[in-house]
Amino acid sequence: MTYTSTYFNLVSFLMQYPDEAYLQALPELETVAGRLKPGREKSGIEAFLADLKTHSALQLQERYTAAFDLNPSTTLNLTYHRWGDSEKRAATLTRLKRLYMAAGYEIDTGELPDYLPLVLEFMASVSAAQRSEPIRQCLTVLETIVYRLKKIASPYAELLTPLSVTFRDQTEIRTAPGID
């Protein structure tokens, strides 16, 4: 597994609802995070893991629900931030589903294909060549989500900040004049 795949998988898992299995996996996740190279990604994950230890399971679940399930402005369904509930969103969801199917990736969670943990898990499982425009379009909203999370769930904002910077930088490079 590559460094990038490991990082995407860690963030994917940490962005899921903190149920019993999630909480039981934390020691193993700490071990994996400890093997990441020093940098903003490792720091963000380690800070997030440290924060998790300071809360009860119920507090973590309440924070997650308040941040993502009860607040449309920070939903983890990425296309909602760009297109709301529109035909453009439906078309992108269809393209994502087709992309996953073409790569042999099965969605078995019941989540929409634009759900951030699912997108990251997919990206961890395929080569960079298989990542397409629908994926990049989804991830361009990360900065907006991070900005909004800073006010209501800062540990999640800190976890996602390195990821948002990475995708912002990639988008800027791709959209620079003279770049195809």
Q: What is the CATH number of the domain that holds 51?
A: 1.10.3480
Q: Is the distance from CB of 57 to CB of 18 less than 8 angstroms?
A: yes
Assess if residue 160 is contained within a domain. Answer: yes
| Alpha carbon of residue 15 to chain centroid | 6
Digit-by-digit pLDDT tens for the chain (180 residues) are 687 889 999 999 999 999 999 999 999 999 999 999 999 999 999 999 999 999 999 999 999 999 999 999 999 999 999 988 899 999 999 999 999 999 888 888 889 999 999 999 999 988 764 567 888 888 989 999 999 999 999 999 999 999 998 777 655 434 333 333
Measured between alpha carbons, how far is 94 from 96 in angstroms, rounded to an integer?
Answer: 5
The pTM score is 0.88
- Which is nearest to 157 in space by CA: 32, 47, 13, 80? 47
The two tokens of residue 54 are 């300071």
Assess if residue 180 is contained within a domain. Answer: no
Q: Is the distance from CB of 136 to CB of 171 less than 8 angstroms?
A: yes
- What is the torsional sign of CA 61, 63, 68, 70? positive
pLDDT at 49: 97
145-149 long-range CB contacts below 8 Å, 24 or more apart? 145/74, 145/76, 145/81, 148/73, 148/74, 149/67, 149/74
Number of compact structural domains in the chain: 1
3-state secondary structure 45-111: HHHHHHHHCCCCHHHHHHHHHHHHHCCHHHCCEHHHHHHCCCHHHHHHHHHHHHHHHHCCCCCCCCC
pLDDT at 166: 78
Assess if residue 154 is contained within a domain. Answer: yes
Assess if residue 12 is contained within a domain. Answer: yes
Q: Which domain holds residue 69?
A: 3-175
